Chain A
């Protein structure tokens, strides 16, 4: 079994536990052994890098160092924010020798080796490129709107596996499991992120736009790779769209998990705010 370091971060232990469940279920079907980084701590999230560069690098650096000690040369963080912080810290540490030395002193751990950092997107792209013999359920006929958000592809100087303005990776992944990606405009639009709490009105307007575009494009569901996007599109959906609410919002591992033959409960599909039963009902019973 291939070994992959796993950094769940805080949200996967709380509001986005469906992402945790589905990632683990899918990894098992893919034959990938997820090894949680022992004693991992906060990635720093938005708070750290808004106040202090050194802090914003040191927090993820500790986790990167712990991974190496645990014998993990590649790690994956399903949360887009965690991934972003880990990837940016890695980039900074590799680029600036003096910073690396300084951070080593702060975290009191070595940083002579730094593991590769995958997002859920880059990891699954690599997986489907290896082959899709693990696909057990025919999802053809299902149409999804691939929604990237902001953190999975930016900043372009750090994250180089896909074009930040015209990405293709998520579409490539869903196509590989027989799902049709719709052509729509809002796939890179901002979800409003943390304004969900402080300026809810802005988020509702953005969510309304994104969902109506997905619906106009004929999508059965929106697929996301970020707990924040999911929270805004799923949790705020009812408030944002008075009529016609009911666009299921799926994490990418949930969609792939369905193709791999995982059960809805196993994937946490029954725990979303927007009902996924309608979508699940369309999936034909039977194997490919």
Chain B
């Protein structure tokens, strides 16, 4: 006779409000095989778990059903408690009476009946559960970091400094990301380059960091602890090892005047170029779309002037394969393009004239104007005629918090960087005046509110609460019309330049990367964390972690904190000799298997192998299917497919499932 214990949780009021938990426990006592049933306010708390452990020990329970929340939430918790009491953890099951019952029902009586049914179903299952042993898998102690911005760099350095090898992949020709583009950083105004470039050099020189720039992740195979990653090294057309970084090629190239992406189109570059002088690696790349040699076959100037013989027009994309045990995604963000990329008729904010008038720029372009390494060497000069602007209007929330543009969220960083822009502008143009149109000023962060006050009180920024309705060109000036909703009247400002604080969006191509990694993204296409509060740097897939603005809009301090958190998660994973995996995998009954290999056809993970069965003389009797338990994800498709019922998923055997179904009450 089974000895099952049932533990009913109130989940504070979450369950207790709708379900009579004491009644559920009372009814459970009547079920055959149940010898112990109790209810408690918080079963997951220490005293709650203690109840379970004590009951298992004192009453010699051989099965446990915890009726509480989703197994997604606390199955691990309760199985560990059961294991602590000396029982096999897979003899513990959960009946979900929260998500599947109390949260979705209102009638207390009916909800209580349903909860009792759910308990009975799980009791029938747990009676048939078999003890299972965790699967041990080896770990490749090497990490892959995707993205070489501040988050990726911090992650890579933290892991590498702990003695673990790191592969860092960056799609641009240089690491540095957006932070390398910034002039100063809030709220302390330290120079971004001064704190960023040394870290970039550290990455390049680190003996345990393998850096792939101008490269992208092509495919990812395997599972936690054992990923195989193919990386496409795009043809740079310049040999990384031979190039001395003298820069002669970039000054002799005859194709001039190409807008420089790093300067957000405010400066120019040539067809062979280094994105910015402090680039790491400081090796040029040829823009084949623009290069005269690649377009017409005639030129070759860069190859001629190169003393090191580093220019190589024949270079092709190269694939390299790396084995890693964990992956950190740090692909960062891009700025909302104010509808420029949208088709006609769907462009947002036409009234702001972005992309139409050169003096209407975005926040990152202002950073380049203010940066000492920027196209104006740090002098604030407007793009149209190079004049120093005296009145600059900053417009916050361009895209952010605008449902019509598909961006309902707050981009988080704009309030702060706009305050910074106003301060920098005043520092550089003493007689200048900054106007800031805002919805709310959100300055939550250490030293943030003080920083905004500084912009207002010390640097005279004028904050106008309201939206701008239009920006129009009037000869030399930009006429900014808007509403001052605090004063309740329309305002009109004659400005020399307008800066739009555009929304933070995920990098394009996130969907493809998420597919390769088999992890998920949210409605806005930011990578989704495993739990917003308790597991913020873990993705929904085991062994894949998140850092920085690929998960949500993040400023530098947040990105760095997340990066270090992700690094510590990776190091924690690598701390064990072997990884333990849940033994929820398929097993083949080799006696009944007829070797039809239908299972092989339906397996999405390639976990089915072929095994030869031979007699004592070595004569082949038959070939049967075998499951590679390191690869199997426990989806159960093979179990459903097998015509001879020879595959069973551990923990979800036919017997267990049918017992559950038979316990479902038949409506009379």
* 0/1 string, B322-352, CB within 8 A of A gives 1: 0000000000000000000000111111110
B403 vs chain A, min Cβ distance (A):
11
Q: B344 — which chain A residues lie within 8 A by C-beta? A: 163, 168
Is A160 part of the contact surface with B, judged by Cβ < 8 Å?
yes
Chain A residue total in the interface (Cβ 8 A): 12
Is A198 part of the contact surface with B, judged by Cβ < 8 Å?
no
Is A162 part of the contact surface with B, judged by Cβ < 8 Å?
yes
- Contact residue among B349, B472, B473, B474 (Cβ-Cβ distance under 8 Å from A165): B349
Q: B346 — which chain A residues lie within 8 A by C-beta? A: 163
Report the nearest A residue to B348, measured CB to CB.
A165
Q: Are B349 and A160 in contact (CB under 8 A)?
A: no
Which residues of A in the span 152-167 have a Cβ within 8 Å of any Cβ on B? 156-157, 160-166
Is B404 part of the contact surface with A, judged by Cβ < 8 Å?
yes
Q: B473 — which chain A residues lie within 8 A by C-beta? A: 185
Q: A156 — which chain B residues lie within 8 A by C-beta? A: 404
Q: A166 — which chain B residues lie within 8 A by C-beta? A: 347, 350-351
Report the nearest A residue to B355, measured CB to CB.
A166
Q: How far is the CA of A168 from the CA of B351 in the complex (A)?
A: 14
Q: A188 — which chain B residues lie within 8 A by C-beta? A: 351, 470
Q: A156-B404, A185-B473 are in contact. Are A165 and B351 (CB under 8 A)?
A: yes
Q: How far is the CA of A156 from the CA of B348 in the complex (A)?
A: 11
* 0/1 string, B105-122, CB within 8 A of A gives 1: 000000000000000000
Q: B470 — which chain A residues lie within 8 A by C-beta? A: 185, 188
Which residues of B in the span 469-514 have a Cβ within 8 Å of any Cβ on A? 470, 472-474
Q: Are A160 and B347 in contact (CB under 8 A)?
A: no
A223 vs chain B, min Cβ distance (A):
20
* 0/1 string, A136-164, CB within 8 A of B gives 1: 00000000000000000000110011111
Interface centre among B345, B346, B470, B473 (most CB of A within 10 A): B345
Q: A161 — which chain B residues lie within 8 A by C-beta? A: 345
Q: Are B472 and A185 in contact (CB under 8 A)?
A: yes
Interface extent on B, as a size class? Answer: 10 to 19
Q: A160 — which chain B residues lie within 8 A by C-beta? A: 345
* 0/1 string, A188-229, CB within 8 A of B gives 1: 100000000000000000000000000000000000000000
Q: A185-B472, A185-B473 are in contact. Are A165 and B404 (CB under 8 A)?
A: no
Q: How far is the CA of A219 from the CA of B348 in the complex (A)?
A: 28
Report the nearest B residue to A165, measured CB to CB.
B350
Q: A165 — which chain B residues lie within 8 A by C-beta? A: 347-351
A211 vs chain B, min Cβ distance (A):
16
Report the nearest B residue to A166, measured CB to CB.
B350
* 0/1 string, B345-386, CB within 8 A of A gives 1: 111111100000000000000000000000000000000000
A188 vs chain B, min Cβ distance (A):
8
B475 vs chain A, min Cβ distance (A):
10
Q: How far is the CA of A165 from the CA of B470 in the complex (A)?
A: 9
Q: Are A162 and B345 in contact (CB under 8 A)?
A: yes
Q: A185 — which chain B residues lie within 8 A by C-beta? A: 470, 472-474
Report the nearest A residue to B342, measured CB to CB.
A163
Report the nearest B residue to A164, measured CB to CB.
B350
Q: A162 — which chain B residues lie within 8 A by C-beta? A: 345
A199 vs chain B, min Cβ distance (A):
15
Q: A163 — which chain B residues lie within 8 A by C-beta? A: 344-347, 350
Report the nearest B residue to A169, measured CB to CB.
B345
Q: How far is the CA of A188 from the CA of B346 in the complex (A)?
A: 17
Q: How far is the CA of A157 from the CA of B404 in the complex (A)?
A: 9
Q: How far is the CA of A161 from the CA of B350 in the complex (A)?
A: 15
Q: How far is the CA of A185 from the CA of B356 in the complex (A)?
A: 13
Q: How far is the CA of A157 from the CA of B403 in the complex (A)?
A: 12
Q: How far is the CA of A166 from the CA of B350 in the complex (A)?
A: 5
B4 vs chain A, min Cβ distance (A):
50
* 0/1 string, B506-530, CB within 8 A of A gives 1: 0000000000000000000000000
Report the nearest B residue to A189, measured CB to CB.
B470
B456 vs chain A, min Cβ distance (A):
31
Q: B404 — which chain A residues lie within 8 A by C-beta? A: 156-157
Q: How far is the CA of A164 from the CA of B474 in the complex (A)?
A: 22
A243 vs chain B, min Cβ distance (A):
21
Report the nearest A residue to B344, measured CB to CB.
A163
Q: B350 — which chain A residues lie within 8 A by C-beta? A: 163-166
Report the nearest B residue to A153, measured CB to CB.
B345
Q: How far is the CA of A156 from the CA of B345 in the complex (A)?
A: 9
Report the nearest A residue to B473, measured CB to CB.
A185
Q: How far is the CA of A185 from the CA of B404 in the complex (A)?
A: 24
Report the nearest B residue to A162, measured CB to CB.
B345
* 0/1 string, A240-266, CB within 8 A of B gives 1: 000000000000000000000000000
Q: A164 — which chain B residues lie within 8 A by C-beta? A: 350
Q: B348 — which chain A residues lie within 8 A by C-beta? A: 165
* Supplied contacts A163-B344, A163-B347, 8 more A-B pairs, CB within 8 Å: A156-B404, A160-B345, A165-B347, A165-B349, A165-B350, A166-B347, A166-B351, A168-B344
Ordered by A's residue number, 14 sampled pairs between the chains whose C-beta atoms are within 8 Å are A156-B404, A162-B345, A163-B344, A163-B346, A163-B347, A163-B350, A165-B347, A165-B348, A165-B349, A165-B350, A165-B351, A166-B351, A185-B472, A185-B474
Residues of B participating in the A interface, judged by any CB pair closer than 8 Å: 344-351, 404, 470, 472-474
- Which 4 A-B pairs have CB atoms at the shortest separation, nearest pair first? A165-B350, A166-B350, A185-B472, A165-B351
